[in-house]
Structure 1
């Protein structure tokens, strides 16, 4: 299992993970927009099939907020989507993907904070964001999702390297490294 920066070649695998695991779905064009605009913010978890093919089993899709840069306003990142295929859950992949993305947003783009939305009913994700990654709930956005479900609006201030580095020494490699670098999980 490897975690590495997402590339254009990964977009179909990312979309497949999204379609199979989340009710919120995105077009390939949307993934491409993220990959080309903020290449160091999105990551994939991959495995190798018995035939030797690389397969995306999870991803994090992130970006900088779209507002025009204001020199008086801190730079903020946003996590658009995180998904892990069911058979690869409970292995810590979502947390590792998130930490890589947070690191990329901080080191490569200077983000001082990162926001995200999570369904009120998604207890596993809420626990990951609150307990493991130390995001705080800012409020509830009523009817945020297309099906009418409310979302928690969450935010994390990226104060120190401890906030974005994993306990595994293998994951301490810089997110600014070349896109061909891989991290073994």
Structure 2
């Protein structure tokens, strides 16, 4: 693992991001979804690069309920050969920094109830389960809604 860096995503990155997404998730986002996120949330879309190659990414948005401003992690992925190195945590830390700079009071995300590794990962980062959302995913699987307050 040489020269790992986190950079803002750009249009040239989308094809590799879609490739990673398709390889890792049973219900992947399509290319247009990533293009939309890049258009609407370019300040909160980052890639993880090792020697210039994209090996992970994170997407998020800032949401305003009129009572509270919070960040919403929408998608996070690190290719398997780069896991267990703290890189997912670095992506989350970078995003949380962006949230705090934007005035957010916390961060929220959803994760499949069956994804125990991800739930444990988020708990280690200080996230707590708030509730379960029934039938959240296209295949009918429930999601765990997790939150971290800053």
> Normalised by the size of structure 1, how large is the TM-score?
0.73
User: Greater Rg, structure 1 or structure 2?
Assistant: 1
CA contact (8 A) 1:41 1:102 kept: no
Deviation of 1:34 after TM superposition, in Å, equals 1.9
Counterpart position of 1:145: 137
What are the Cα deviations for residues 112-155 of structure 1, in whole angstroms up to 9, with x where unaligned? Answer: 11111011111111111112x10110011122111121111111
More relative contact order in 1 or in 2 (CA 8 Å, sep 6+)? 1
5+ residue gaps, structure 2: none
Cα distance in 2 for partners of 1:147, 1:17 equals: 20
Q: State the aligned residue count.
A: 147
**Cα drift, residue 39 of structure 1:** 2.1
In 2, distance between residues paired with 1:57 and 1:18? 11
- Contact 1:40/1:105 (8 A) holds in 2: no
More strand per residue: 1 or 2?
A: 2
Alpha-carbon distance in 1 for matches of 2:33, 2:83: 25
1:40 counterpart SS class: helix
**Once superposed, what is the RMSD of the aligned Cα atoms?**
1.6
The structural deviation recorded for 1:94 is: 0.9
| Map of 2:116 onto structure 1 | 123
Structure 1 unaligned runs (5+)? 49-53, 159-185
Q: Which residue of 2 aligns with 1:82?
A: 76
Matches within 5 A, 1:27-46: 27-46=30-49
